[in-house]
Structure 1
Amino acid sequence: MHSHLIPGIDDGSPSMQATIEMLKGFVDLGYEKVITTPHIMFDFYKNTPKIIRDGLADVQNEIRNQQIPITLEAAAEYYFDEHFLSLIDKDELLTFGNRHLLFEFSFRTKPNGVDEVVFELKSKGYQPILAHYERYLFFLSDGVKPAEKLKSKGVEIQMNLNSLTGYYGQKVKRQAELLVDANLIDYLGTDCHRLVHLEMIKANLDSKYFRKLNEMTFKNADLY
């Protein structure tokens, strides 16, 4: 879960060809199912359920045409902004699994009102999942304590696999390692935008922390 594979609708795949290359890369890594999550960020990516579903249908048709042995579903990655809040009020959110909802913050600016929004989401029957906790700069100085607080409020935590490769820098890598050591991760994701993201994962499968992941249990399997 967590990828950007529908071509041309966000900062992920630029073309159907690139999407197919990435899907074949997922198959090479042993994936059987992928949940792709295009950005919904009102100032930049004004995606709607119809845009995402239409794009998903196009990719699914190409998967069938090329007989790629993988299942593709779609939801969204919601940016924590006023548009997101309005969609909660309207109950117009794209989810996966059992009303699981992926959302993200600004990487640099700590948001206000998170507890209240989480409470509203939970009261409406959603399961909020915070994308790539380890990448938020305002959490770095506090390590995993904010993750523990978020989980106590009912938020589940998703970590990007490439955070453990150093792809996003050494500070993010260390934060990801702390998450692993504290066993605070609910979901692993690739956050795949380009084929290079899968190539980085493949190159690090035998690293120390990837081996640790193999010994742990995550909720990804519940989404099958």
Structure 2
Amino acid sequence: MFNLFKKTPPLGDFAFLETDMHSHLLPGIDDGAKDIEDSLSLIAQLQEMGYRHLITTPHIMADLYPNTPEIIREKLAEVRTAAKAAGLNVTLDAAAEYLMDEGFEPLLEEGNLLALPGNRVLVEMSFISAPPKLEHYLFRLQTKGYRPLLAHPERYLFFREDFKRYAELKDRGCEFQLNLLSLTGYYGKPTRENAVALLKAGLIDYLGTDLHHDRHAENLRAALEDRNIAKLLNDKSFHNPQLQ
């Protein structure tokens, strides 16, 4: 007999996503993994959570992390070799997370961006305010043949009181990636509420870990045991498995 009061079971793992497409696993080039041992530990933890494909995305910021495709590819090769030697059974790739700041436009015009599958470019903005040229950046990405993918839109709380801005960005061809950590309250209650609102509005295309360190990993494991998070995600479909 159907039980109307049956509780949603916890997720248990993230195998339903297959691919994590936002993390900081390459050692020593941004605020993520500090060294190769740190990288391997974080990769092993993601594998244990059910991921089979990791597309890590180091920051590219003009002043703070002036990474290049060459630097990122060199570090990826190093981590792939170490992961294979450690017996980790996970596919490793890399793209980048670009801050839409004054240093982004020259890179965009040059057209040598490290993209996710489908020529998607993961972009972020300041948590204080949107860049004045946001719409221009999105338009230029598309005219260059890229598909803009906005990282953690729920964390841009300046859009919270003007929620229609999210729909406007979607209408402009921008996809959205939500941080799983936002659902745990890791970044605070307002961010969690904003994340829930975006999910309920059907605006989220991808889920990402945005994993930087062990504390993030601990919170991700807690998310797997949270029935409320399972209920939020249960009837939604996300495009992560298509990122092969």
CA distance in 2, matches of 1:210, 1:192: 20
Match of 2:142 in 1: 122
Matched residue SS, 1:204: helix
CA distance in 2, matches of 1:4, 1:207: 27
- Structure 2 residue 208 is matched with structure 1 residue 194: no
**In the alignment, which of 78, 83, 90 is matched to residue 98 of structure 2?**
78
CA distance in 1, matches of 2:204, 2:172: 15
- Give the total of aligned pairs: 223
Q: What are the superposed Cα offsets for residues 63-83 of structure 1, whole Å, 9 maximum, x if unpaired?
A: 110110101100100000122
CA distance in 2, matches of 1:43, 1:5: 20
Unaligned runs of 5+ in 1: none
Structure showing greater radius of gyration is 2
CA distance in 1, matches of 2:227, 2:166: 24
- 2:197 maps to amino acid: L
Match of 2:185 in 1: 166
Q: What are the superposed Cα offsets for residues 148-183 of structure 1, whole Å, 9 maximum, x if unpaired?
A: 110000000010000000000000000001011111
User: What is the TM-score normalised by the length of structure 2?
Assistant: 0.89
What RMSD, in angstroms, separates the aligned Cα atoms of the two structures? 1.1
RCO comparison, higher one (Cα < 8 Å, 6+)? 2
CA distance in 2, matches of 1:146, 1:169: 22
User: What is the TM-score normalised by the length of structure 1?
Assistant: 0.96
Match of 2:13 in 1: none
Q: How does 1:133-172 map to 2 (within 5 A)?
A: 133-143=153-163, 145-172=164-191
CA distance in 2, matches of 1:142, 1:87: 30
Match of 1:26 in 2: 46
Q: What are the superposed Cα offsets for residues 124-146 of structure 1, whole Å, 9 maximum, x if unpaired?
A: 11010010001113112224x22
CA distance in 2, matches of 1:13, 1:139: 30
Contact 2:196 2:232 in 1 (8 A): no
**In the alignment, which of 116, 130, 133 is matched to residue 110 of structure 1?**
130
Q: Report deviation, 1:215.
A: 2.5
Identity of aligned residues (%): 46
